[in-house]
Structure 1
Amino acid sequence: MTAGEAVVECMKIENVTRAFTVPGESFLAVLDALEGQESIELIVNRHEGGAGFMAEGYARSTGKVGVAMATRGVGAANISIAVHTAFQDSTPMVVFLGQVKREFLGREGFQEVNFDHNFNEIAKWTTEIRDSHRVPELVQKAFRVAQTGRPGPVIVSLPEDMLTETTTMNFGPPTSIPAPAPSTIEVETFQRLFGAAKKPIVIAGGGVSSSEGELALRRFVEKFKLPLVAGFRRQGIIDNDHEAYIGHMALPAAPTLVDHFKEADLVIAIGTRLSEATSQDYTLLHWDQTLIHIDIDESTIGKVYPPDLGIVSHAVNALQAFTDVVVERDWSDWQKVCRKSHSELMAVEKDDSIYSHVMETLNEELDPNAVITCDAGNFATWLHNQLVIKDSHLFLGPTNGAMGYGIPSAIGAKIAEPHRTVVSFNGDGGGMMTIQEIETSVRHKAPIIILLFDNQNYGTIRMHQEMYYPDKVIGTALGEVDFAKVAEGMGAIGMEVKSKDEFLPAFQKAIQQDRTVLIDIKCFEENYVANRKTYEDVKGSKV
């Protein structure tokens, strides 16, 4: 078979059923191999960044590898934001990039880029296949690397002329994912440190979700009555109404949550890399605290904080082992103190903004089985602080704060979960970056609901300008766009909400539709710039 056909055969062996792409002439042989077969659906996008975000959202929704394809340097540049997102979110992806002919390499050929150098910092592994007979070996390795250890994106460069060569191919078995468990001595050490703790606290991140460890996590905190904190944008790890849940390390986190975290004498960090956001600019832990850090990736442990006990383990295996330890006590009083602070924070009177009204309405109206995607923007401060994520929800938000994520990731999630309602939260800044993918959702019959908070500003940057350079605003104002008509022009349904009382009927109408709906929520005149904070509140606060 040809090398292009071998690439597709590897996808089939790895149980790939969808691939996302903006087509390019450099990988026509792969596209030709996809034509006529029925096991892999090709999703054709409007922008490579949209294809990458869609593959990332699809991967996070299914737990399978997301596959995207783009052409040469220009397509690679466009898809790179999604590669970076997948890297920081630990999302398994394989990105195939068409490359110039082998004889042109190193001559600065048309659209040529050295992908190994270009993606070295934001991909888990990169490879360029120059020998056609090695396609099965290297493509199957790409799928294995993407899924094992800490998951992440892999780049596979495919020289155009290599793909048309015909040779004998030898394929291996599909990827088998190792699931390491704590050793006996590690469990014993855990038991000793855990049993001595007066105020233990658990912080969990994406490693719990990627290992499907939510149930094991819940059983652990329930048995010992432990307070549980979610890492940045990981608040979907447990029902937010659960007695153990005490909040999420947002930017910034609630002061009471940070205070309780610093009160803890033992921190159990599982499936989190304790990133800049989660660790509140690397200030969250102090030297007097005992740290037990569990992660699937040995290089993550100790990267930010040196642990007293570091365990390389699959999250589920670690949590099951910890749940089985014998400790003749629980920490229900400590949990109640922490939960009370969170409950009081949620009960605080909300500001009178349209943002708060939307979140309050959705807490009543949102399908309990919905998928929620979140773009980057100041609207997210209301989502993080007020929207209650339920056990049955799936929450997807980029931990790298990538703008343009919300719409395409929602479409990817809808393709993965066609029977679930998918709601995407966006600002007008981020939404406009990938709004063209609405047409993709219409063409592929993947209807989503887009909530677009339209304040005609790069609001987060404007807020920081007021904080650090009060009254010196530059480069953050945006023009007026009729987003409802933009959506209608691509075959979707457009609605406009100008006041609070218009939102509920608009949303109720949206959930009845079988087409993508965009609700343009006008908030240009809204004085609030973040949850319970106006521009005057933040002005000069960092000077």
Structure 2
Amino acid sequence: MSSAQAVVECMKIENVRHVFCVPGESFLPVLDAISRESSMQLISARHEGGASFMAEAYGKAAPSPGVVMATRGVGAANLAIGVHTAAQDSTPLVVLLGQVHSSFKGREGFQEVDLEAFFKPIAKWVAEIREPPRTTEIIQRAFRIARTGRPGPVVVAMPEDVLKKEVLMTFGPAVSIPAPAPSREEVEAVKDALLSSVRPVVIAGGGVKRAGAEQELVSLAEHYNLPVVTAFRRHDSFPNDHRLYAGHLGLGTDQNILETIRQADTILAVGTRLSEVTTQDYKLLTPDHKVIHIDIDEKTIGSVHPPFLGIVADARQVLKKLLAVDVATGWGNWAERSRRGYEKSLISPGSRLLNGRIIDCLQNKLPENSVITNDAGNFAGWLHSYFVFRCPHTYVGPTSGAMGYGLPAALGVKLASPDKVVVSLSGDGGFMMTMQEVETAVRYNIPVISLVFNNRMYGTIRMHQEMHYPCQVAGTDLGEVRFSKMADLMGAEGFYVKTAADFERVFEQALRATGPVVIEIECDPEQISLNRTIQSIRAEQ
């Protein structure tokens, strides 16, 4: 068996069903082996950045990791944004890169880059297959590292000459993911900390989702009357319509929600790295907060805030153990107050603007198990503030804030969850970065709905520009692009709307469509964010 065939066999063992790429001559043997494997579909994208976003989102939505391939230094550089996103989002992603012929290395060969050095700062592990007999060892190790502990991206370089060589191969079993449980002493320590708490609150992160612990978190919150807030872009780790849900910690978070954290005396942080955005520039948690930090990765605990108690364990295992602990609580009034703070945020003025009414339409028209993906940009403020995520596995977004993510992520999610409606939200700046993947959606008949909020500017940067350099516009204005027409030209259905009524009518058509749809929404550039206009920012200076 050749090394290329062994690579594909390793993917088959891990139940990989889709592989994303932009093809390159350096890994043609792997492409050939995939084409001969009936259980696998190759998705050839229009740009490596789009392919890596597809694979990263697939890794969030599917039971198997995302897999993406590209060629040598040039393809690797293009897909690096997906590797960085997977690192910050803790997504299992296996990156397979064709590399120059072994005898050409070190001579600045065609498209040569030291891939191990290039990716080391942003990948969980980087390796190169130098000897054909070690192919299965390295590839299976890559899958194990990507999926266990804190998941993340791994990168394997494959020299083109090594891929063609045939040797006797041996294979190990599929990855078994450890789920370490807390010790009895650690559980007792959490119990004692909760017993002394007056206003405890849970911050639920991606570790809850990765562990499949959403129901255990609901049970624990109900058992103790604990209010729950979700970390940045982890909305669906707890049902937003639950009486104990107290909001989402993101960009531009409503002050009523932030006040819940400020008033809390004990923070039960479960499966979250307490990121810059979640902690509002690392200022939300103070020395007065007693933080119980639970995470699968020992490096995460204490990296942002000194914990009162740190537990290295699987989120689901910890929550199950805590459910068995009997703690008499009187937190009902506190939980009700926290919930009211969140409910107040839902009726803020932004809900009555065009974008708010579009989010309301999505809420009313989408099936409950639909999945929403989003790009980076101020338009997402309306989604994060007003959409009520009721079910697990219904949101996929980049905590890295990567532009261009929304559309390709939707393709990856739809391939992983073909029975779900998948909708992406993007601004015109981000959408333009990867909109070529509309053609990919058409070619493979992947029926996703893409919303493009078009205000003809890089809105988030313009907002900060106006805050720091009012009236001095530099680089943030964009030209006129009719995305709906471009979608039509690529074979999708394109619509252009200006009002909420027009959007509702068109969106109902999109839900009935059998192919990809792009809905371009004309937005007022003056309304720069959820609660601010350009003029109001200038008036503050």
Cα offset, 1:537, TM superposition:
2.2
In 2: Cα distance, 1:377 partner to 1:348 partner: 20
How many residue pairs get aligned? The number is: 541
Alignment correspondent of 1:531 = 530
SS at match of 2:177: coil
Alignment correspondent of 1:434 = 434
Cα offset, 1:344, TM superposition:
1.6
Alignment correspondent of 2:67 = 67
In 1: Cα distance, 2:525 partner to 2:481 partner: 17
SS at match of 2:502: helix
Deviations 1:161-210 (A, max 9, x none): 11111111111111111100000110011111111101101001111111
Change (3 A) 1:82 1:309: same
* 1:281-296 equivalent positions in 2, closer than 5 A: 281-296=281-296
In the alignment, residue 346 of structure 1 is paired with which amino acid? L
Q: Is 1:509 aligned to 2:500, yes or no?
A: no
Alignment correspondent of 2:55 = 55
Alignment correspondent of 1:211 = 211
Alignment correspondent of 1:444 = 444
In the alignment, residue 104 of structure 2 is paired with which amino acid? F
In the alignment, residue 156 of structure 2 is paired with which amino acid? V
Alignment correspondent of 2:480 = 480
Deviations 1:483-505 (A, max 9, x none): 11111111100001022321110
Cα offset, 1:387, TM superposition:
1.5
TM-score by length of 2: 0.98
Deviations 1:117-149 (A, max 9, x none): 111111100001111110010000000000000
Contact 1:466 1:540 in 2 (8 A): no
Contact 2:457 2:525 in 1 (8 A): no
Alignment correspondent of 1:319 = 319
SS at match of 1:418: coil
Contact 1:252 1:280 in 2 (8 A): no
Change (3 A) 1:324 1:537: farther
In the alignment, residue 533 of structure 1 is paired with which amino acid? R
In 1: Cα distance, 2:35 partner to 2:317 partner: 42
In the alignment, residue 528 of structure 2 is paired with which amino acid? V
Cα offset, 1:274, TM superposition:
0.5
* 1:362-511 equivalent positions in 2, closer than 5 A: 362-391=362-391, 394-511=394-511
In 2: Cα distance, 1:63 partner to 1:121 partner: 27
Alignment correspondent of 1:41 = 41
Deviations 1:402-450 (A, max 9, x none): 0010000101111111111101000010001111111111111210000
SS at match of 1:256: helix
Alignment correspondent of 2:140 = 140
Change (3 A) 1:393 1:177: closer
TM-score by length of 1: 0.98
Q: Is 1:168 aligned to 2:173, yes or no?
A: no
SS at match of 1:191: helix
In 1: Cα distance, 2:35 partner to 2:361 partner: 46
Change (3 A) 1:132 1:540: farther
* 1:162-241 equivalent positions in 2, closer than 5 A: 162-241=162-241
Deviations 1:513-539 (A, max 9, x none): 10101001011x342111122112223
Alignment correspondent of 1:280 = 280
Identity of aligned residues (%): 50
Change (3 A) 1:469 1:142: same
Could you tell me which runs of 5 or more consecutive residues in structure 2 were left unpaired when the two chains were aligned: none
Change (3 A) 1:476 1:526: closer
In 2: Cα distance, 1:17 partner to 1:482 partner: 35
In the alignment, residue 231 of structure 2 is paired with which amino acid? G
In 1: Cα distance, 2:95 partner to 2:188 partner: 42
State the Cα RMSD in Å.
Answer: 1.2
Alignment correspondent of 1:301 = 301
In the alignment, residue 284 of structure 1 is paired with which amino acid? L
In 1: Cα distance, 2:86 partner to 2:296 partner: 17
Contact 2:129 2:159 in 1 (8 A): yes
In the alignment, residue 180 of structure 2 is paired with which amino acid? P
In 2: Cα distance, 1:257 partner to 1:499 partner: 30
Cα offset, 1:51, TM superposition:
0.8
Deviations 1:256-313 (A, max 9, x none): 2222212111110010000111111011111122110000001111111111111011
In 1: Cα distance, 2:228 partner to 2:537 partner: 30
Cα offset, 1:242, TM superposition:
0.8
Contact 1:359 1:383 in 2 (8 A): yes
In 2: Cα distance, 1:498 partner to 1:253 partner: 27
Could you tell me which runs of 5 or more consecutive residues in structure 1 were left unpaired when the two chains were aligned: none
Change (3 A) 1:355 1:385: same
In 2: Cα distance, 1:492 partner to 1:118 partner: 37
Contact 1:468 1:540 in 2 (8 A): no
In 2: Cα distance, 1:372 partner to 1:421 partner: 9
In the alignment, residue 446 of structure 1 is paired with which amino acid? I
In the alignment, residue 537 of structure 2 is paired with which amino acid? V
Q: Is 1:248 aligned to 2:220, yes or no?
A: no
